[in-house]
Amino acid sequence: MRDAFHEELDNITESLVEMTNLVASAMARGTTALLDADLQLAESVITADETVDLLRGEIEERAFDVMARQQPVAGDLRMMVTTLRMVADLERMGDLALHVAKVARRRYPNSAVPPELRSTILEMGQVAQRIVAKAGSVIAGRDLDLAKELESDDDAMDALHRRVFHVLLETEWTHGMEAAIDITLCGRYYERYADHAVSVAHRVIYLVTGERA
């Protein structure tokens, strides 16, 4: 039997995982909208971000409520505060997926991604998917080995980000300034998305080991 505090904590953890799934879906659909110039899909990501924000507020309220009623100490207190930080990371990841979708919408009916960067952006989307899926599993299962894997996924994202700059700077760019700006910003959105996912994993490591990763 778990006590009331830990039961509420389990519920909050479930909601955190749900939030992870929402921001994963947002970036998956945002990437497809960007690559396929799919306006409807882009709009769906933009609309769905409200759900992420609502869930964020709801988890925060519940966390405050638990803290006020149960007065957790030591490890349990750290857990509650860490939860609030993870919620903030996840909400920001939702915002970044929203930004990608907004670039897709702004450039519709054209694609914001020129042919020579298509595979790079596709891969950035895939790495984002892998990294957020792992972050969700780390939250759910507190798996420290998996948490460490996120580092190498993040390295992969950084390498893709450098490739974007390489194509912009070292090859003949024929797509104009607007496309260059959009790609520069999208590159940064993916990179920050991965950073926040790594940060979620680090927070779980900190919870389990008490050490900052």
DSSP annotation of 16: H
In the complex, the smallest distance separating the C-beta of residue 82 from its own copies, rounded to whole angstroms, is 10
Number of residues that bind its own copies (CB under 8 A): 23
CA distance 163 to 161: 5
108 binds its own copies (CB under 8 A): no
Complex with its own copies: residue 87 or 135, whichever CB lies closer: 87
Residue 23-52 contact track with its own copies, rule CB under 8 A, x = bound: ------------------------------
Whether 97 and 193 have beta carbons less than 8 Å apart is answered as: yes
HSE (side-chain half, CA atoms, 13 Å) at 194: 27
The binder of its own copies chosen from 43, 51, 62, 84 (CB under 8 A):
84
Give residues 133-192 in contact with its own copies (rule: CB under 8 A). 165, 168-169, 173, 177-178, 180-181, 184-185, 188
73 binds its own copies (CB under 8 A): yes
The binder of its own copies chosen from 50, 77, 118, 152 (CB under 8 A):
77
53 binds its own copies (CB under 8 A): no
| 134 contacts: CB under 8 Å, gap ≥ 6 | 146, 147, 149, 150, 153, 197, 201
CA distances 182 to 61, 116, 169, 187, 188, Å, are 36, 14, 15, 8, 10
CA distances 33 to 44, 71, 109, 171, 182, Å, are 10, 45, 11, 26, 14
Complex with its own copies: residue 85 or 142, whichever CB lies closer: 85
Q: Which residues bind its own copies (CB under 8 A)?
A: 64, 67-68, 71, 73-74, 77-78, 81, 84-85, 88, 165, 168-169, 173, 177-178, 180-181, 184-185, 188
